[in-house]
Amino acid sequence: MARNHKPADPRGGHVRIYWEIIDSMAWRVVGYSAHSLYGVMRRKLTSTNNGNISATLSDLKAYGWTAPTTLSKALRELQAVGLIAVTRQGGIAFGRQVCTLYRFTDEPMHEWPKLGISALGATNEWRELKTLAEAKEAVKSSPS
């Protein structure tokens, strides 16, 4: 018996950012570059790949990212306020370069055994910032 599937949206997929995040202190203190990067990274998110999301300059050039310093500052801001977290630190491994991988803290993460990443539920670190002053201090004190 055939399943009665809804037709696919002719406009394609969508990016979901909950109001709770946009209204948070964490979102208010990060710059527009960080907002843009969050949206582009969120575009890569599927139902199972949280924790396996890269944000390399070569990946992001198609979205208009050209400056490595702007990218690194936006990544630092998003990490400082707890909107994203590192799941695998990049560098040289097995004789080749590997990129840093990230996860969104508001979504659960599945296990990625080949990448050495364990499953983890949503941690929502961004919720810990209750005041604007706390959020600003988190960004200010993040490592450069």
Is pLDDT of 2 > 90? no
Rounded mean pLDDT, 80-85: 97
Contacts of 67 (CB under 8 A, 6+ apart): none
Assess contact for 88 and 117: CB atoms under 8 A: yes
pTM (two decimals): 0.88
Domains and CATH numbers, the chain: 19-140 (1.10.10)
94 pLDDT tier (thresholds 50, 70, 90):
low
Residue 1 has pLDDT above 70, yes or no: no
Q: Which residues contact 52 (CB under 8 A, 6 or more apart)?
A: 87, 101, 112, 115, 117
Length of the chain: 144
Mean pLDDT value across the chain: 91
Given a contact cutoff of 8 angstroms between Cβ atoms, the answer to whether 88 and 98 are in contact is: yes
Mean pLDDT on 79-108: 90
Q: What is the secondary structure of 44-93 as a DSSP string? A: H--SS-TT-EE--HHHHGGGT---HHHHHHHHHHHHHTTSEEEEE--EEE
Phi and psi torsions of 89, nearest 5°: -75, 135
